[in-house]
Structure formats: C-alpha cells, structure tokens
C-alpha cells in the first residue's frame, strides 16, 4: 500500500482508498466522540524559538543553519517556553555535538498539512545566501485527521524535499506519528488511525528517500511512555506532546540530524544485534513505520539502509540568543551552556562539557 501511495504521488495517480465503505458509519460515530474529548484543554500558542544557540562555541567557523518545517509538532504547540520546543532542543543538541553555534529558523505552522510545505519552503529559501545547512520536516498528522488524499500528501512532501535538496540543504523527515496513541481515541477508530498513520509514514519514507532525504519514524514513540504516564507525556489538550514528550521525540531525530551533517560516526558495517539491514526501500519503509526511532537512508537504488541509532542525551535546553539584526555576529554568553542532562527513561549517559 505504501508503494502504491508513493507511486501515485510520483506519477500523478489519484487517491488510494484506505477504508472500506462498510466501516464508515461506525467510524463516523467514533470520530465525533473523539472530537469532543480531544482538545478538552487548550494548547498554548507555540513560543518562538528562533535565534542562535551555543554562542559559547563562537569562533572562526560560520554558525550552522537549521530550518524546521511542518505542523504543530514541529512548531512546539503544547509548551510555554521556547527552550522546550523541538526546534530549541535540536538546535541545542546540534550545537553541543558540532561545537559550533546554530542558527534556528522555524517556519512550521500549527494545523498545517503537507500542502502548506510549499509556502514554508519558500520562506526558508527567500534569501539564497542564507539557505539552511539542514532542515527537519515533521508533517502528516493533520493530513490523516483532515482526510487529505495520501497521494497528494506524499506528493507535496517529496516536492518540498526535492526543492530543499536542490538548494543545497540536507533534509531529515520525521514521518507521520501514530495517531492510535492518542488517549481519547477508541476502537475501532484507534486501529484505523494506527493503520492509516503507518501507511502514510511508510509512503513518506519512500518518497523522501528517493529525493535524497533521510527519515526517522516517530510512529508510536510516545506509546509506552503514554500508557505508563499519560499526563506527563501529553500536554493539557490531551493531543499535543508535553515538554517531556517533545524531548523524547527530539532525541530520536538528533542522531540522524548529526549523521547527515557528518558529525556522527558512520560505519559501513551493519549491526545485526540492533536489527540494522539493507533492504529494498519499500520494505525498509514498512519496517521503519512499525518501529519508532528507525532511520531510513538511501543506498544504491532500489536499496535503503535501515538503522537503529543509539539515542543520546540532549543538552539542557536553553532559550534562544536573540538576533539584533537579520545576520548577527555572535556576542554575549546567553544560551551558551551545553551541559548534558538526564531525561527520565531515555538512552545512556553522556559526559558533561563546560560551556
């Protein structure tokens, strides 16, 4: 199904049906029930996290430029502090690993679907002299909830990846999360949400890898933590992640973000103990959609590498260092801490590094 969706997106096919007509009546009732319960609280407007991170590393090298695109997950809706957003967490982590300042620009829009990526990419590429070195795209949940045709969704995403790659940016896509982990969604809607989310995530992987991007499956990344402690891992509206939830997701993306920039140790040897493998891209995409935190990167067509990178600890999130003008020089010490802290239930320890 993922291959059919991706092929339809690439060659102009129409919508690929994912649901039999017999189930429509039951599912519509479940949708109405879920709508009354999801969003019972109010998610705060996501804070702006744009700015410079890791200013203590200022030196002769230019800052790395990180762009974030996508929906409310990429924007960080559900938290109140800039340092708690995924953009800030990834920028702080990237600065700590590269030992260079990182300029973050986040153009993600809460509520956005994949057809908004064209506008977001245009915003990032307006200044050809400031093209991001790497971009992270998190998109797909609203495509599912608003019943956007899967082929259209994947077509919009692959076009965005192609534009960014043509401009010279590396691209990492966090694929559609598993909507079956949302607490107020009941069976059979929960089963359908999981199935459709995974099919879209796999199709996103196929399309993105074929355009030269890498993907990280977000899938049910929050599933086990949510079942154990839903109030901690989801925000006040029961839909968007909390600060701890965003930290969990960001730690899954950070190793791939560093690897695509050549900052992470790479090896041609696949680790069988960690279920790494080289597979046809469609099979790699399907397997990644079933296991959150899995990276897929293209090899020689039609093959792809399936990797399970170790999750490292993120540095303590800092507030962005404000830019006094569009292209600032680094100054001051605010936001310079790169101390690595423990987040509950994640990864292995890394050593602290003084700013």
Q: What is the helix (H) or strand (E) element at residue 219, kind and residue range?
A: none
pLDDT at 38 over 80: no
d(CA 49, CA 123): 16
Average pLDDT, the chain: 76
Stretch 15-22: mean pLDDT, rounded? 46
In angstroms, rounded to a whole number, what is the distance separating the alpha carbons of residues 143 and 155?
A: 12
Output the CA torsion sign for 71, 245, 2, 24. Answer: negative
pLDDT at residue 92, as a whole number:
96
Residue 229 has pLDDT above 70, yes or no: no
Residue 196 neighbours by CB distance under 10 Å: 22
Buried b (16+ CB within 10 A) or exposed e, 20-36: eeeeeeeeeebeeebee
Tens of pLDDT along 100-134?
Answer: 999 999 999 988 999 999 999 999 999 888 999 99
Q: Is residue 93 over pLDDT 70? A: yes
The answer to whether 202 touches 165, Cβ cutoff 8 Å, is no
Question: And the tokens for 177?
Answer: 């999360």
Q: Which residues are designated catalytic?
A: 72, 237, 240
In the predicted structure, residue 264 carries a pLDDT above the cut 60: yes
Q: What pLDDT does residue 290 have?
A: 84
Confidence of residue 13 (pLDDT cuts 50, 70, 90): low
pTM for this structure?
A: 0.77
Q: What is the DSSP letter of 15?
A: P
Mean per-residue pLDDT for 343-353? 37
pLDDT at residue 20 in the model: 45
141-161 in b/e burial notation, b at 16+ Cβ within 10 A?
bbbbbeebbbbbbbbbbbbbb
Q: What is the mean pLDDT of residues 181-203?
A: 75
Residue 230: how many CB atoms within 10 A of its CB?
Answer: 15
Higher pLDDT, 283 or 187: 283
Of 278, 249, 287, 264, which Cα lies nearest the Cα of 2? 287
pLDDT bin (cut points 50, 70, 90) of residue 309 is confident
Radius of gyration of the chain (CA): 19
Greatest Cα pair distance, the chain, in angstroms, is 64
């Amino acid at each position: 199904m993922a291959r059919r969706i991706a092929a339809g997106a690439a060659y102009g096919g129409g919508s690929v049906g994912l649901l039999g007509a017999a189930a429509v009546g039951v599912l519509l009732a479940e949708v109405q029930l879920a709508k009354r319960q999801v969003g019972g609280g109010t998610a705060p407007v996501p804070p702006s996290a744009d700015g410079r991170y890791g200013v203590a590393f200022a030196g002769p090298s230019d800052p790395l430029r990180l762009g974030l695109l996508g929906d409310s997950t990429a924007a960080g809706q559900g938290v109140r502090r800039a340092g708690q957003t995924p953009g800030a967490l990834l920028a702080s982590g990237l600065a700590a690993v590269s030992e260079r300042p990182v300029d973050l620009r986040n153009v993600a829009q809460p509520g956005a679907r994949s057809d908004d990526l064209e506008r977001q990419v245009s915003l990032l590429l307006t200044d050809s002299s400031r093209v991001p070195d790497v971009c992270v795209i998190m998109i797909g949940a609203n495509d599912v909830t608003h019943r956007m045709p899967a082929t259209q969704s994947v077509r919009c995403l692959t076009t965005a990846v192609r534009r960014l790659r043509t401009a010279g940016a590396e691209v990492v896509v966090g694929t559609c999360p598993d909507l079956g982990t949302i607490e107020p969604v009941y069976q059979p809607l929960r089963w359908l949400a999981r199935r459709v989310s995974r099919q879209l995530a796999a199709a996103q992987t196929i399309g993105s890898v074929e355009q030269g991007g890498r993907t990280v499956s977000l899938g049910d990344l929050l599933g086990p933590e949510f079942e154990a402690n839903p109030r901690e891992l989801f925000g006040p509206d029961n839909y968007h992640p909390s600060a701890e939830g965003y930290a969990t997701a960001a730690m899954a993306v950070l190793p791939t973000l560093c690897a695509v920039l050549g900052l992470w140790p790479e090896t041609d040897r696949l680790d069988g103990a960690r279920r790494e493998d080289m597979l046809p891209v469609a099979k790699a995409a399907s397997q990644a959609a079933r296991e959150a935190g899995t990276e897929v990167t293209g090899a020689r067509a039609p093959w792809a590498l399936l990797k399970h990178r170790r999750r490292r600890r993120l540095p303590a999130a800092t507030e962005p260092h404000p830019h006094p003008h569009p292209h600032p020089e680094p100054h001051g010490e605010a936001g310079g801490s790169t101390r690595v802290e423990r987040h509950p239930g994640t990864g292995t320890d890394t050593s602290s590094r003084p700013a």
